[in-house]
Chain A
Amino acid sequence: MSALAHPARRSILARLSTGDMTVAELGEPFDMTGPAVTKHLNVLERAGLIERLRDAQRRPCRLRPGPLKDVFDLVQPYREFWDESFDRLDELLAEQEAENDN
């Protein structure tokens, strides 16, 4: 996941999560040249996080659902429900065990 290490690449992913965008659109908020954006996109593409559509004129970029889905799956709803509940249960039990020891 070193592809996620650079803040510009994380920002690109966050923006692509709202929809497909071209290199020019992605470069806009960064004050970055086309080649600089393309460099980041290459890293993301090699990591399998995005793909470039073969729409000859625009070649918009799109998030690839696979690898990012793994990230989403880690915080998947019921896992999240129970993980967060169990974190608090863990704390509660630790408190009680500490009291019992005194």
Chain B
Amino acid sequence: MTTEARSNTTQDLHELVFSRAFAAPPATVFRAWTDPDQLVRWWGPRDFVLTIQAMEVKVGGIWEYVLHGPDGTDYPNRAIFEVVEPPRRLEFFNSGGHVSDRHLTCRMIVTFEDRKTQTLVTLRMQFETEAALERARSRGAEQGGRQSFERLVEWLA
């Protein structure tokens, strides 16, 4: 199973889109996105650990979490839920990333589409401006890129 990724950028829209099909019904997948006990088991890149300080899944509810990087860096985030429509749609405005630049500040829109035996999950990360998207991308590239580079070297060795 692989994740489809693309970016859409127009004058008014600056988004990164990721989608993947999961072999479970929408209600089950939606729960995995909204139950803190389940979220900590999957959210975040390899070797990152997630802790959740608060999570109130309702419109206007706050979700506070920290991603702990393998190098000891913490990435605190605070999100506000804007749309909660189980089991079809979830929207939240995420403010976070590294404390120095909050590069992961974007609206995340997650849809859960029933595809008979599967659920297609599409995640849109919408940034306010092209510059914000680029900042997120290059900032992410620095962190992820380092990891990627290590992996490339591993793979080339």
| Chains A and B form a bound pair | yes
Known: A78-B137, A96-B24. A86 touches B3 (CB 8 A): yes
**What is the CA–CA distance of A47 and B41 in the complex, to the nearest angstrom?**
42
**CB–CB B144/A14 < 8 A:** no
Main secondary structure of the interface of A (DSSP, over half): helix
- Chain B residues closer than 8 Å to A76, beta-carbon distance: 5, 141, 144, 148
Q: Does A81 contact B (CB under 8 A)?
A: yes
Question: What mask results when residues 141 to 157 of chain B are scored 1 for a CB within 8 Å of chain A, else 0?
Answer: 10111011101110111
Q: Is B46 an interface residue (CB 8 A)?
A: yes
Interface centre among B3, B140, B153 (most CB of A within 10 A): B3
- Let me know if A83 and B3 touch, CB within 8 A: yes
B45 within 8 Å of A (CB atoms): yes
* Assembled-state Cα–Cα distance A7/B46 (Å): 27
A25 surroundings in chain B (CB, below 8 A): none
B148 touches A72 (CB 8 A): yes
Contact digits for A5-18, partner B, Cβ 8 Å, 1 yes 0 no: 00000110110010
The answer to whether B140 and A81 touch across the interface, beta carbons within 8 angstroms, is yes
Q: Is A93 a contact of B24 with CB atoms below 8 Å?
A: yes
Task: Let me know if A80 and B29 touch, CB within 8 A.
Answer: no
Query: Is B131 in the interface zone, CB < 8 Å from A?
Result: no
Q: Is A93 within 8 A of B32, CB to CB? A: yes
Give chain A nearest CB distance to B146 CB in angstroms.
10
Knowing A88-B41, A89-B32 are in contact, say whether A77-B2 is a contact too (CB < 8 A): no
Given contacts A76-B5, A79-B5, A82-B5, contact A90 B137 (CB under 8 A): no
Which residues from chain B contact A24 at a C-beta distance below 8 Å?
Answer: none
State the CA gap A71–B149 with chains docked (Å).
10
Query: When each residue 120-153 of chain B gets 1 if its CB lies under 8 Å from chain A and 0 otherwise, what string results?
Result: 0101010000000000110011011101110111
User: Known contacts A77-B140, A86-B3; can you find 10 more A-B pairs with CB under 8 A?
Assistant: A10-B156, A75-B151, A79-B18, A83-B18, A85-B45, A86-B1, A86-B20, A89-B29, A92-B41, A96-B24
